[in-house]
A and B are shown apart, each in its own frame.
Chain A
């Protein structure tokens, strides 16, 4: 998973220098930020404690005590916040961002919660900075530098987070589209094919070959294709279905399409697919009935 993300989230061509540039973080700013590391290290635990213990900071309804894995989350957050003060420009820093984004995705930490904690911590550090500073103008400059670096830091983590999320969604879609489709024998010469999931061109080709092979093997004369489990039917999917049914007919078997929901029917009409090509039946029961009649012919 880690490798996948690293490859989808491209590291900027000129390295992190470019990203720092977008946020106007200069060399001087970075020196100022890294100077804050001791201060941050000393106070980070207290800041985290304060964030979680104060009212409205973190209370899950009905939760007694910290939920499972909360310690992991806090450890990661401490590490993540301290990384800011390294103000690094190297690949390690970039990989750390990617890892933080992945972590947030895996643990279900929403961007708002992440940003909330982050802003809270930065504000606290700025408070401390002002209290301890002798030179007020210098402290103001440092604060500005810190905020710029933090914004950049956050942006990269959020970017990694959204890349991780996109990847997770794509992976789930892929899994769904790889679901095998069984070809069931209802009775001699009559096959039932319940299609579930997403029909893309690769899968529909497989499906068609599966149906055709089954027709040949089982000497089938009729096929009922049920698409109740197909979420959306666009023109491409409709085309695939028509191709499947045409191929079925060329093999000498009749085909009946069932399970067309009201929404699918509407979208089919909108893209100009009429009923004739699909030989539809209202529901599975009537579809099987129709197919049985076709068998008797």
Chain B
């Protein structure tokens, strides 16, 4: 079964690039996959790149925060990068604030944030 979300690793850094138009099950599978990879590669930093995502519903927004929370429980730090203006607006209107999760404009910035924090 082909994975819809490619996950690449570099050192202790894991990068998951979310593709456009993910179904609910795709998102759930992505969550499992990320958590498995974090354990397998003992990654300490995870970046979730959502710059390709151009629509999001309430389920999607909740899954984003769930993924972030579960990765933290696995002992890794996570940053969400590349949230588009429309997505940011939609998330705010849906009431999701990602309160304790660092966000960044792009991958470079996201990596820098995770580095500085450690």
Contacts and interface: CB of A to CB of B under 8 A. Distances in A.
Contacts of A248: 88
Interface string B79-117: 001011101110111000110000111100110000010
A257 B105 CA distance: 20
A205 B106 CA distance: 24
Given A215-B105, A219-B106, A251 B97 contact: no
Interface stretch (A27-35, A63-71, A206-214): A206-214
Interface residues of A, number: 20
Contacts of B93: 243
A253 interface: yes
Contacts of B106: 219, 252
B105 A250 contact: no
Contacts of B87: 250
A215 B104 CA distance: 11
Contacts of B110: 252
Contacts of B89: 205, 208-209, 212, 247
B83 A250 contact: yes
Contact of B85 (A209, A243, A297): A209
A212 to B, nearest CB: 3
B92 A251 contact: no
Given A219-B106, A221-B105, A250 B91 contact: yes
A249 interface: yes
A216 interface: yes
A177 interface: no
Nearest to B83: A250
A246 interface: yes
Contacts of B81: 252
- Which of B83, B84, B88, B97 has the most chain A CB within a 10 Å cutoff? B88
B80 to A, nearest CB: 8
Contacts of B98: 249-250
Contact of B105 (A205, A216, A243): A216
B105 A252 contact: yes
A208 B91 CA distance: 13
A246 B92 contact: yes
Contacts of A249: 97-98, 103
Given A213-B85, A216-B84, A251 B105 contact: yes
B98 to A, nearest CB: 6
A205 to B, nearest CB: 8
Contacts of B88: 212, 247-248, 250-251
A252 B116 contact: no
A246 B97 contact: yes
A212 B85 contact: yes
Nearest to B102: A252
Interface in B48-80: none
Contacts of A215: 85, 105
A253 B109 CA distance: 10
A247 B105 contact: no
Contacts of A252: 81, 83, 103-106, 109-110
A79 B100 CA distance: 72
A154 B33 CA distance: 79
A213 B97 CA distance: 19
A260 B60 CA distance: 36
4 smallest CB-CB distances across A and B, nearest first, come from: A212-B85, A252-B104, A252-B105, A250-B88
18 contacts: A209-B85, A212-B88, A216-B85, A219-B106, A221-B105, A221-B109, A243-B93, A246-B92, A247-B85, A247-B88, A247-B89, A249-B98, A250-B83, A250-B88, A250-B97, A251-B83, A252-B81, A252-B105
Interface of A: 205, 208-209, 212-213, 215-216, 219-221, 243, 246-253, 297
